[in-house]
Amino acid sequence: MKFVTNKLQTSASPDTRLVDPLGRVMNYLRLAVTDRCNLRCQYCMPAEGIPLNSRDHILQFEEMEQLIQIFQNLGVNKLRITGGEPFVRKGLLEFLKRVNNFEGINSINITTNAVFIGDIISDLEQLKIGSLNISLDSLQKDRFFKITRRDEFEIVMENIDKAIKSTIPVKLNMVVLAGINDDEILSFTHLAKDNRIEVRFIEQMPFSGGPASESIISADQILNILRQQYPLLYEQNLPNSTARIFYNPGYKGTIGIIAGYSRTFCSSCTRLRITPEGMLKTCLYDRGAVNLKEMLRSGKTDLQIKDAIIMAVQNRAKDGFESQERSSQDYNVSMAQIGG
């Protein structure tokens, strides 16, 4: 395999920014470091898992570091590490420690199912972690097993407890699944009463051959359920947040709702994604704009890669619906292959 080792050359001043046709400034990169996972969440993967890429087909850490450097020179200052399950990838912690030294990156965020984080919380505390987003779809052991198809409830709950007690800001992500866990919305919300965490409810997206749109519980429906129980709930508008954030008086934590399927937040979305296979996506719903891995491995210079990224952003769709229309998105793909 051939790595490009030239120092970053820049075609424009170092303060070049990635600006799309609607003036949105892309400063946030979500990097999926693997498509592998130790769980098999029903809404994300089939029971037998997804066809895996061979190791050669996914980006190496050196390649990811080279790309992050290019992106930081384009104004990206916030990183999210996701997957698959990021912590199944060997060497992740060392990679995170190296990226932590990148001056342009202000915050490293991680999305995880929490199975493997128990012993490394103190290592993570040393990094510039903006938030640790932990996916948990049920507070009931048998239901957790039914959803994830794995018996890891106890360790996940133990690790969530450790994370909450650490200095790292924690967000709990629950995908609301009709008829499966929608009766737990209030018990999840209650976790924000005494814990300084953000409990976030996510609309199910029809990836991995998921449900028809009419059986998805929408962000509005979730909000109605919350408002009935918490009439004093009030919203705080945050710029560039894909989550709508709510406060309930007397609660230490906050409540978020993410309309991933309704796509009501696109106008303020400043996210770019790199899939485990090294495709750059300018929207969750597109098929991929630039094959960065191919560019790296065919010896393209950083300057050429940078220009390809700038062009992809200049061609960014106005919202997820337009992206979907342009690319006729294949909903059989798993979020683990995209980097959810």
Dist CA 287 CA 182 (whole Å): 30
**131-150 positions binding ligand SF4, by CB under 6 A:** 135
Q: Is 113 in the site for ligand SF4 (CB under 6 A)?
A: yes
Stretch that binds ligand SAM, among 61-69, 77-85, 139-147, 296-304 (CB under 6 A): 77-85
Q: Does 210 bind ligand SAM (CB under 6 A)?
A: yes
45 binds, among ligand SF4, ligand SAM, none (CB under 5 to 8 A by kind): ligand SF4
- Considering the rule CB under 6 A, would residue 85 count as an interface residue with ligand SF4? yes
Contact call for residues 202 and 260 (beta carbons, < 8 A): yes
List the 107-112 sheet strands across, edge first: 234-236, 243-247, 254-258, 198-203, 170-176, 129-135, 107-112, 78-82, 28-32, 271-274, 279-281, 290-291
Residue 4 to residue 51: CA distance in whole angstroms: 29
Give Cβ neighbours of residue 163 (< 8 Å, ≥ 6 apart): 114, 117, 121, 132, 134, 170
Least distance to ligand SF4 from the beta carbon of 336, Å? 4
For residue 210, the minimal CB distance to ligand SAM (Å) is 5
DSSP state of 65: H
Residue 323 touches ligand SAM, criterion: CB under 6 A? no
Q: Which of 256, 260, 276, 288 binds ligand SAM (CB under 6 A)?
A: 260
Per CB under 6 A, which of residues 170..209 are in contact with ligand SAM?
173, 175, 202, 204-205, 207-208
**According to the binding rule CB under 6 A, does residue 39 interact with ligand SF4?**
yes
Angle between helices 185-194 and 219-229 (to 10 degrees): 60
For ligand SF4, the binding residues in 167-196 under the rule CB under 6 A are: none
Q: Which partner in ligand SF4, ligand SAM, none is near 40 (CB below 5 to 8 A by kind)?
A: ligand SF4
DSSP designation for 102: -
Pairing of strands 107-112, 290-291: unpaired
> Exposed, middle or buried: residue 43 (CB in 10 Å: 0-12, 13-18, 19+)?
buried
Pick the stretch among 82-90, 95-103, 190-198, 280-288 that binds ligand SF4 (CB under 6 A): 82-90
Q: Which parts of this chain interact with ligand SAM (CB under 6 A)?
A: 37, 43-44, 82-85, 111-113, 135, 173, 175, 202, 204-205, 207-208, 210, 260, 335-336, 340
Q: Which parts of this chain interact with ligand SF4 (CB under 6 A)?
A: 37, 39-41, 44-45, 83-85, 113, 135, 335-336
